[in-house]
Structure 1
Amino acid sequence: MTLRIEQFMCRSDNFGVLVHDGETGQTALIDAPEEAAILTAIRRTGWTPSVILTTHHHLDHVEANLALKQRFGLRIIGPEAEAKKIPGIDETVEDGSVFTFGSQQVHVIETPGHTAGHVCYHFPAAKVAFTADTLFALGCGRLFERPPAAMLASLKKLAALPSETTIYCGHEYTQANARFALSVDPTNSALKERAAEIDRLRAEGKPTLPTTIARELATNPFLRWHDKAIRRNLGMENASDEEVFAELRQRKDVF
């Protein structure tokens, strides 16, 4: 059986995610943004988590760690570089770590930029990755703890995943990201079609995620630093990848 994934809203715009392995019956929670919303999802699915896979230390991703650990006795796994900031952490991982969840191997990809030790979790057999606040649909995380060069390197790692990889992100930012993307890549027909689709989904109260690596490569400006049209629109035809990415991130910060 393949992984079953339940995505649900937490807080104002966070996504919570339960990951259920059908072969073993084990369930993981990707981050713990809000106890009440998570408990509702657990009751709805009947899936009781045995582990939290923490991506980074920000409060809106770890706030429910201790409450859920006390309630369910679950383990908390998170990045070694942020271990001191993650409540209740039991086990640490770093870039290249591989561990088993149920019948699945999980590969850890360290993606500093948004925070110093942010990690993403890739399930190769299931062709799924959980990228939290590094890669968003049509966007990337704001740079709080590392410079643009670090985030660019992180995004290049994710861009190199198989194109069919399904991506679950940490927030419902897609509609705002689409507006920015169109401002720097206005002639991209795939982007224009996607932006219209996103507007329809949000008008119907539906989520815009998950996405895929292929879709992001075609439409996300933060994975398209090499694109000639974007570079021309920025007046940066001969700039380095890092310079183009830094300019995109700076523009998004004030958009």
Structure 2
Amino acid sequence: MREEIVIVPTHEAEIYVEDTGPEDAPVLVVLHGGPGGSSYPYRAAWEEELADYRVVYLDQRGGGRSPELPLEPRYFTVDALVDDLEAVRSWLAVDRWIPVGHGFGALAALEYGRRYPELVRGVVTLGPWIHFPELARALWRAAFGGGEPPADPTQAVEEAFSAVGPKPLFDRLSFPSEHGRAHLEWIVEGLPLAGSEGVEAAFRTNGLWELDYSGHLLEYPLEVVVIAGERDGTSHPHQTERLADLTGARLELIPRAGHYPWIDEPEAFFRAFYGAVDAFSE
């Protein structure tokens, strides 16, 4: 398979990019979850399945293999991520592409499409996060077994993380089985990645836990597809149904799957995925 690895410089960051697959095929750009994640586990899981597409995998600023940066107000914002994405598109000279955003990455995919609709064929969101106060409440309830969380979403998240810890708490909501969690950890085991502490700190500093993106989805200029696991406690039903209702998106639910449906139910996931990207590629 064709592969080109580049570091795309922006005026603030250096973005690690893997450009793979046939150059004349429809172009997908994968926006990983996080904050502080990496595109590595997506390529490891998807490369063979997406061999007929040109797929651009990138690591968000400060995460994965994109170098850590000083903590500054703009260091990790949605606007900064969208600017990085447009810098990558321009560097690769792609005319139009299909953003595929997972979890937090769905927010960047949607905002990029809203800002640059002429460069986007359609947007695919996987277990999207668009209403972060609701995600904060879900995390708090998962940590404390129900009840009424604090009104301040940042306080709710910090209490939940202090009680349980970020990773075990997200694992609790994301994986319907221990098999799925172990499989993902096996994929990323031993991968040398930049730390995510700075990204998570910037996430709090920039008030992203208070972000409700719903208002930007009214009269959204592009077609959107939502694919999610029915047992994804981070996204379904509050995030997925909100996004589908506001944009008129097609919602594809994968039974028995969590936040990583390609691990839990790969056949059903890729059937839905191919249907979405092939419709946008026509």
Under a length normalisation based on structure 2, what TM-score does the superposition of the two structures give?
0.29
Between Structure 1 and Structure 2, the one with more helix by share is: 2
Under a length normalisation based on structure 1, what TM-score does the superposition of the two structures give?
0.32
Between Structure 1 and Structure 2, the one with more strand by share is: 1
Q: Which is bigger in relative contact order (C-alpha 8 A, separation at least 6)?
A: 2
